[in-house]
Homo-oligomer: A and B are copies of this chain.
Amino acid sequence: MLMPLLRNGIPKPISKIRARFSTASSIAGRKSYKLFSLGDFSLCEGATLRDAKLAYKTYGSLNAQGDNAIVYPTWFSGRHWDNEWLIGSDMGLDPSKYFIIVPNMLGNGLSTSPSNSAPPYDKARFPNVRVQDNVRAQHKLVTEEFGIQTLKLVLGWSMGAGQTFQWAVSYPKMVERILPFCGSARTSPHNQVFLEGVKAALASDDAFQSGWYNQLPTKGLRAAARVYAGWGFSQAFYWNETWRELGFSSLEDFLVGYWEGFFLDDRDPNNLLAMLWTWKNGNVGLTPGFDGSLERALASIQAKAIVMPAEKDLYFPPEDEEYETSFMPNAKLRIIPGVWGHFAGTGLNPVDAKFIDDAVKELLNS
């Protein structure tokens, strides 16, 4: 499945960013991935995913010492190829130096998900998966498949940032550095309310049938997309009509072409809601040993960190990361400036992409 922007014709700035994926063969290459067998994988909330699989892709090679590995988890509805904009020979995540592992989140449609599970745990019966479960699954992959004992860096955007924090809390001695961008260690109550709105819009479509649809509830998906649109980018992004930089011709063209296209791009509703549950319930304080305390969990992090909220992110606002960073012994807060809001972390615009890449380079070289 192509990215929605490619599908709708490649706007110029995007075509530059994504030039290296523009041929049919390389698109097929991007889509390829491996499956790691998790076996019968028991979840924090009690269910067991039987014969569970973690889909992943790697870039570069593990060196003889096994000390050049980086983990870069995916985000809400994202797939490994959506992370590739930050990987390249001229970038911090340079595959000629590092072994970069991109695990797909449980529920994203490639790893074990509502859409690809066998009954009885399929579709609306897919069990609740926590961020902790994702990170434990990734840890199995990293240690059992590759025998890796230390990670140079864990990083990620949005829910990928949530997994990044969790890695540093769950495996403090293993993770040397973290760079979570536009995400948090605990999902804030306002963020939960935003997610409730997205969920309600999606579920309001009768065709959703409480998750037992045989045909996609596209009206609900489009509604969820339109709800999301106001949150994904900042007020100033819309005021300035910055969407023109992405090749859209009007506000409505952006809402349909970008947002509805995004949600119709092979995003299964049950998958979305499974990941949404994971997101809504994210909290490193729930890791065993911290008695529910976010602050104590953050204080236990040993990794050197650059924490990067975006200046105008409406659901992961910078003040939340200022708060979280204040408990971390070895962390810098570095705000991504500008109007792109949460979507500063998508790689959609070269300025923010460079700002993040510069931080990756700095952190890796420290």
Q: Are B201 and A200 in contact (CB under 8 A)?
A: yes
Chain A, 237-248, contact with B by CB distance < 8 Å: what is the 0/1 string? 111010000000
Contact A317 B193 (CB under 8 A): no
Q: Give every chain B residue within 8 A of A192 (Cβ-Cβ).
A: 238, 251
Please state if A230 and B193 are interface contacts (CB–CB under 8 Å): yes
Q: How far is the CA of A223 from the CA of B219 in the complex (A)?
A: 14
Q: In the complex, A202 Cα to B258 Cα: how many Å?
A: 21
Across the interface, which residues of B come within 8 angstroms of A319, CB to CB?
235-236
Is A130's CB within 8 Å of the partner chain B? Answer: no
Q: Which of A302-353 contact B (CB under 8 A)?
A: 314-315, 317, 319-320
Q: A358 within 8 Å of B by Cβ?
A: no
A234 within 8 A of B: yes
Taking the complex as formed, is A29 at the interface, i.e. its CB lies under 8 A from any CB of chain B?
A: no
Cβ distance A88 to chain B, nearest Cβ, rounded Å: 33
Question: Could you give 7 example pairs across A and B, Cβ below 8 Å?
Answer: A190-B237, A193-B229, A196-B229, A197-B223, A197-B230, A206-B207, A223-B223
A223 touches B201 (CB 8 A): yes
A194 to chain B: closest CB distance in Å?
4
Q: A191-B235, A197-B229, A206-B207 are in contact. List 8 more A-B contacts (CB 8 A).
A: A188-B235, A188-B238, A189-B239, A193-B230, A198-B227, A201-B227, A204-B204, A204-B220
Question: For the complex, is A265 an interface residue (Cβ under 8 Å from B)?
Answer: no
| Contact (A227, B200) CB under 8 Å given A188-B235, A192-B251 | yes
Contact size range, A = 35 or more
- The CA of A238 and the CA of B190, in the complex, are separated in Å by 5
Say whether A205 faces chain B, with CB atoms less than 8 Å apart: yes
Q: Chain B's nearest CB lies how many Å from the CB of A322? A: 12
Using a CB–CB cutoff of 8 Å, the interface residues on chain A facing chain B are: 188-194, 196-207, 219-220, 222-223, 226-231, 234-239, 241, 251, 255, 314-315, 317, 319-320
Contact A196 B238 (CB under 8 A): no
B227-A190 in contact (CB<8A): no
- CB neighbours (8 Å) of A203 from chain B are 223
Chain B residues in 8 Å Cβ range of A200: 201, 222-223, 226-227
Contacts of A237 in B (CB 8 A): 190
Known contacts A197-B226, A241-B189; decide if A219 and B204 are in contact (CB<8 Å).
Answer: yes
- A319 to B: closest C-beta gap in Å: 8
Chain B residues contacting A219 (CB-CB under 8 Å) are: 204
> Contact between B201 and A255 (Cβ–Cβ < 8 Å)?
no
Q: Which residues of chain B are within 8 angstroms of A198 by Cβ–Cβ distance? A: 227
